[in-house]
Chains A and B, each alone.
Chain A
């Protein structure tokens, strides 16, 4: 029976190859931080008596809508999956109260300072907590965080070569008079509402550990972050997951969770099934009404819809023909129907947006009445749009944009595609991976850009999207000014320096009126965050709103299976 022998040999060969040397377990990867830790699983509560039997480790498994991470350097992280991990690994001088972005709390600092004036400069003095430990990494046991690290971190955040958020820190210097004091010195005074967000647990405010960054290098920290937060980086398996281990030395106490796994699962049905089948505990959901209703009806799971949400704005690149003609841009604004977007995404998740700065949450936003009065509401008017286009000599033309495959982007683009078709504009879509889209648009690849984002205040919104310094690729501090708009630099800077909050808000409103008149961008709607969750996950705080784009996981979060 020679053939049988042959068949069996082939199968055996295949089997042998599979059972071969198994470096398959992700914990063997060189990107992992070999850990200097005790044998026992971490105790659940700091005050708990050590039990005679081993307490099973609490593990939280999160699934993100992404194929892979982009970067875990907090001063570059922009996408949801990256911001989430960075949020768990790092702290800021102060932080937003977990679950409620309307309040600040001290984080690495002991208290939130009041600014003083010294020689015409505004000075903020932060007193640091003592005994905050940086996570161990690659053969280094970790060390105490001091003001040297904070200053290093802020300087890195202010450096356009080392941070995407550098534009926020112009005109600031940072000093460390002693180990536990940090002085932030501003050339121009800023109100607390504008300054404090720059040093919170968000974007440039995250504090990195100097020695780790210098030891590993800027490239390596993209996949191996070292911070002071409740969870420390454990391992990264490309295109699969990042695992974080509980940091027992966390200054607020060892976390309940022993481990957090962040999985990259770009397929919504896999994520959904994962939560329903108990393989995943928390998953990024679909920000649409039918999905919310579906999950709420399912057994053992529930849905968290929380704010503040993200603004969905259509930016139009004025350097691309025929978008260089304001009539064409206004026509596009008229062609788009806000009501349709709201109907599509659903009332639980979407609210209308009339100005780049959302009026519900932030000072300086414009209401519908204000916008209507000023004639920049751009109500849906397809005939009017067509007329404008004909007048501009652009009766029909086509453009190509790259869209992320993420549902919130893709469906917005598809809806826009459909609506523009009705006025003779053909929008071709290339669906790409989410991180790819983010890189492409920052390289100026799209003529029409849908951007979904939240920023802490009007100044940040306006500066990063509409100040000429932030123009993509060519700006001084290239950021997210996709429209190449440069008409309100003066207004933005004036508002920033204005100390009277009402006057400041007025200036912001003027700036946005200008944006709308020039149709540099067309605000569509605000989309809240939607996460599906197993009922046994308890965040440890009341989740109303968060800037971290995901339900923050803190030391108090627990999984009570």
Chain B
């Protein structure tokens, strides 16, 4: 399996890029040349120059530092929301698959419906209700992604439910929870991981979109999305303010997509997500 993955050059490039981004994000507090929040109103809107490789924004803050710290926010929001989605979705999917009957019908119908909704619009709607802020953002994106995980968890649960070793386990007195933990979960973990990496990319993109509209993380915390938004007003004389964070988003999302693609090719080339 891993051999196939290694042979896939795009996936490898993706892994390398993703690892670089993650490392940069983790190390941001130490490698950032400046405090990303430190304003200097006497030195604003300058392009790349010594001391500020990516320039300074309109509050005099160092762009490079903000891009690095922005990576932290984007990755934290991305991974946390995927985690939330994974947990909520898997729970729903497993419960539905395991219990069956009315409960399953209701849950899976709702999942079907939610699945067909544009994620961005759902995200916007949820954020509009909840208000802005990092925790709410993570919650919103996580909720929006959970139907997909539910779907992925549901199918295998159904098939495993009927397998012989499960019946055997029951016969020896194992309860539902035990079966869930020891038989069902291990079998679906693989597919869930594939999904998770693919949806990281989407989560990061959704965060950028929400921040751009102004519904994401509140100022002054840097995120790539709100850096682009603030930079747009200087598009004609300081385009680098939007270009660099934009590139950062592009590279990061591409990297995770490449990894996800590679994983998917390995797991199940026909899997349509």
A interface, CB within 8 angstroms of B: 267-269, 272-273, 276, 286, 288, 290, 294, 340-341, 343-344, 405, 407, 410-411, 414-415, 417-418, 421, 428-431
Q: Is B220 an interface residue (CB 8 A)?
A: yes
Which of B37, B132, B218, B234 touches A418 (beta carbons < 8 Å)? B37
Contact B232 A430 (CB under 8 A): no
Knowing A343-B42, A429-B219, A431-B219, the reply to whether A414 touches B59 (Cβ < 8 A) is yes
Given contacts A273-B236, A294-B237, A414-B220, 10 further A-B contacts (CB under 8 A): A290-B44, A343-B42, A344-B41, A405-B214, A407-B233, A415-B39, A429-B219, A430-B131, A431-B214, A431-B219
Contact A418 B232 (CB under 8 A): no
Which of A269, A343, A417, A431 touches B233 (beta carbons < 8 Å)? A269
Minimum C-beta distance from A432 to chain B (A): 9
Contact A418 B58 (CB under 8 A): no
Contact A290 B237 (CB under 8 A): yes
Q: Is B45 an interface residue (CB 8 A)?
A: yes
Knowing A290-B58, A414-B219, the reply to whether A269 touches B41 (Cβ < 8 A) is no
B interface, CB within 8 angstroms of A: 37, 39, 41-42, 44-45, 58-59, 131-132, 214, 218-220, 232-237
Contact B132 A430 (CB under 8 A): yes
28 CB-based A-B contacts, threshold 8 Å = A267-B232, A268-B233, A269-B235, A273-B236, A276-B236, A286-B233, A290-B45, A290-B237, A294-B236, A294-B237, A340-B39, A343-B41, A344-B44, A344-B59, A405-B214, A410-B219, A414-B219, A415-B41, A415-B59, A417-B219, A418-B39, A418-B59, A421-B37, A428-B218, A429-B218, A430-B218, A431-B218, A431-B219
A267 cross-chain contacts in B, Cβ below 8 A: 232-233
Lowest 5 CB-CB distances: which A-B pairs, in order?
A344-B41, A268-B233, A343-B41, A418-B39, A294-B237
Expressed in whole angstroms, the Cα–Cα distance for A288 and B236 within the complex equals 15
A340 cross-chain contacts in B, Cβ below 8 A: 39, 41
Minimum C-beta distance from B49 to chain A (A): 16
Minimum C-beta distance from B265 to chain A (A): 26
Which of B42, B132, B237 touches A431 (beta carbons < 8 Å)? B132
Minimum C-beta distance from B206 to chain A (A): 19
Expressed in whole angstroms, the Cα–Cα distance for A288 and B220 within the complex equals 19
Contact B218 A290 (CB under 8 A): no
A273 cross-chain contacts in B, Cβ below 8 A: 236
Expressed in whole angstroms, the Cα–Cα distance for A286 and B237 within the complex equals 14
B233 cross-chain contacts in A, Cβ below 8 A: 267-269, 272, 286, 407
Expressed in whole angstroms, the Cα–Cα distance for A415 and B42 within the complex equals 13
Expressed in whole angstroms, the Cα–Cα distance for A411 and B233 within the complex equals 13
Expressed in whole angstroms, the Cα–Cα distance for A341 and B39 within the complex equals 11
Expressed in whole angstroms, the Cα–Cα distance for A343 and B237 within the complex equals 19
Residue ID in chain B nearest A271 by CB atoms: B233
Contact A418 B214 (CB under 8 A): no
Expressed in whole angstroms, the Cα–Cα distance for A290 and B39 within the complex equals 16
Contact A417 B220 (CB under 8 A): yes
Which of B131, B132, B218, B236 touches A272 (beta carbons < 8 Å)? B236
Residue ID in chain A nearest B61 by CB atoms: A418
Minimum C-beta distance from A86 to chain B (A): 28
Expressed in whole angstroms, the Cα–Cα distance for A431 and B220 within the complex equals 11
Q: Specify which of B37, B131, B234 lies most central, judged by the most chain A CB atoms within 10 Å of its CB.
A: B234
Expressed in whole angstroms, the Cα–Cα distance for A268 and B231 within the complex equals 11
Expressed in whole angstroms, the Cα–Cα distance for A286 and B44 within the complex equals 15
A268 cross-chain contacts in B, Cβ below 8 A: 233
A414 cross-chain contacts in B, Cβ below 8 A: 59, 219-220
B235 cross-chain contacts in A, Cβ below 8 A: 269
Expressed in whole angstroms, the Cα–Cα distance for A415 and B41 within the complex equals 9
B237 cross-chain contacts in A, Cβ below 8 A: 290, 294
Expressed in whole angstroms, the Cα–Cα distance for A276 and B237 within the complex equals 13
B58 cross-chain contacts in A, Cβ below 8 A: 288, 290
Expressed in whole angstroms, the Cα–Cα distance for A421 and B221 within the complex equals 13
Expressed in whole angstroms, the Cα–Cα distance for A410 and B214 within the complex equals 12
